[in-house]
Chain A
Amino acid sequence: MPTSGPTTATQDLILALILGVLAAGYGWMTAGIPSSVLAGPVDAGALPTLLAIALGAMSLLLLISAWVRWTRHRLPSCQRITPTTDGQSIRSGLGLLFIGLGYLMLLPVLGYGISMALLITASTAMLERRLKMQHAVYGLLGAGTLYCLFVLLLGVPFPTGSVTSLGSNSENTESPSATHEIGSAMMGRR
């Protein structure tokens, strides 16, 4: 099972910088947490402040250790990223994510069934690096199965789609009322 990609000093350097920025941003947002008399001896901003400092310190440690490795070893050839293979593999991983995002954008427009069929067809074709008729068949079968499971069996109110419901009075079921949203948030979504 692939657990992690090749970890290089360069990657760690970049990541340490990103984590440093994250720590700074998180610390900056911590300053905006209001204090309350109900908080007790330690207020609501204490833990976030501590975490921001900890992350900042650890990203600095990561930066130093990565810098030391980078300057000492100059990345041995066995650890170097092969641009083609790694670039290709990253593209496949990110491609799956972008197709997922595309599905989410199409969902309110085309509805669950059609968007799902497109998602399955497009992602299978992307992973096999060509589009075949059987991908479309698989997409239709997969979408049909999931439609039966989630919509017909479990009754999940997936969006019907603004295009597919044109001319009918049925409402798009996606957006719940504001009251529901506030209610579920106040009840604690966890």
Chain B
Amino acid sequence: MADTQSLIWHTLTATPALFAATGGVLWGMFGGALPGISPSIALSLLLPLTYGMDPATAVILLASTYIGAEYGGSIPAILIRTPGTNAAVATVWDGYPMHRAGLGSEALGISLVSGVFGGLVGLIFLVIFSIPASHLALLFTPAAYFGLGVLALSAVVGLSGKSRLKGAIAVVIGLMIGTVGTDPLSGVPRFTLGQVELLGGIDYALIVIGLFAVSELMMLAANPAPVAPKTNVRFRPRHLRIPRGTRRAQIIGSGVGLFEGCMPGVGGSVAAVISYNLAKRWSKQAWRFGKGSPEGVAAPEAANNAVAYSTLVPTLTFGIPGSNSSAIILAGLLIHGIQPGPLLVEQNPELLLSLYTGLALATLVQIPLGLLVIGPCLWLIGRPKPYLLTGMLALILSGAFVVDNSITDAGIVLLFGLIGYVLRRTGFPLAPIIIALLLTHLLESSFRRALVLSDGSFAVFLSDPIAAGLLLAAIVLAFVSASGKRRPR
């Protein structure tokens, strides 16, 4: 206990955790507030800059950015009817009518307070459940890990939007990219084209930046959004007093967010829409939904913030990312040589404790920062898009060089940007590529280790009850998603 307290105190005073948390939230808020700039872009732009940091500071910075982006996305959703992030889609439905009715500041206050509420619930969930989950993960044999990986990919394909065939192809492409480099068991080089640089594989950071950030910039350049209309709002501390009756919506949103965050490939947008519908169904004033209901803002905001924390539970304990943002956080961990999984708690308790402390800081600094950023965010939203896009392109190309001080790396980023652009234009989801890429090593090494342990008998996948259960669940999920109706998006 004393050790824990001293480590928390050390994190607060002797490490840059406070700066990382504050900077991450601020960066995330600006990134989230800019329509078209998803949390994934905000995160991937930061990824190269984390190379010089210690792992704890890097992860705090990335996780805080994700948290900040969730609130940032609600600012344009409420004020200009344009969600800054996908997860803020449901916030538009009642946030904008509130703004039209002269209650824009109140809606921002509800969004901020509900986000912090959902965040605190998510943080408690993360702290309480990450250790038991890692104990559970210790029971997993290589065969069970393989089953878990297959289930995660099956879920990602099932939730990959319009075309599940394209989702499945995206998964295969991600796995193919993941096979470049040295074979994890035998050390044999694969697809390295004789290049020494490729022995360690293609750097995750370069793929993430290219696929998410560059391709999104190209899409935005191709379809420039009009300059946002000017809007004015005074956001003061008194607006943080939220109306009665929103607590129930916050609890519903947080509950949905916790559950959805643990599901691979779901993310904040699905959680926000589901929580909005549930809050409406269970509200005493359901008729107000869609016309400016405070509950309609509180539920999705609590949900998408809770997701930002709960998605870290499977990411940290099993190494299975729940969303593309958590996949980038996972990439950040791997870049620093930290292997998420059940042994993370045993081998790196300091990292986890520092992360929890940093997340608590990030959650709390949201309130003052949320009040301060409205003006600068509105100014930024009103800037002509070409200037923002070129600024980001410059940042991306500079950041790509930082990864290994190599011009070739910046070229690889552009190449993956082109691949991402072509895939986006042809309706392919990108998240399955990144999640599959990050799971390649886990899937392949678990599969082959299981066979080594069973002397080459494939029956090991059926005789291990956890593995058999997970593989069965993956098959059922694949059939259900192939035959079922599309989920509302």
Contact = CB atoms under 8 A, between A and B. Distances in A.
Contacts of B410: 100, 104
Interface in A146-173: 146, 149-150, 154, 156-159, 173
Contacts of A68: none
B389 A12 contact: no
Contacts of B188: 33-36, 39, 44
Contacts of A96: 217-218, 221, 389, 393
A185 B196 CA distance: 6
A62 B165 contact: yes
A114 interface: no
B186 interface: yes
B451 A174 contact: no
Contacts of B243: none
B23 interface: no
Contacts of B386: 123-124, 127-128
B401 interface: yes
Nearest to B52: A154
A89 B165 CA distance: 27
Contacts of A142: 390-391, 394
A146 B394 CA distance: 8
A186 interface: yes
B187 interface: yes
Interface string A110-128: 0010001001100110011
A190 B200 contact: yes
A188 B373 CA distance: 40
A39 B186 CA distance: 5
A73 to B, nearest CB: 16
Given A103-B397, A182-B196, A189-B203, A120 B38 contact: no
A156 B397 contact: no
Given A39-B186, A142-B391, A190-B200, A47 B427 contact: no
B169 A127 contact: no
A108 B407 contact: yes
A124 B407 contact: no
Contact of B218 (A59, A97, A101): A97
B375 interface: no
Contacts of A93: 218-219, 221-222, 421
Given A7-B162, A15-B426, 6 more contacts: A2-B223, A19-B169, A36-B183, A36-B187, A127-B385, A185-B200
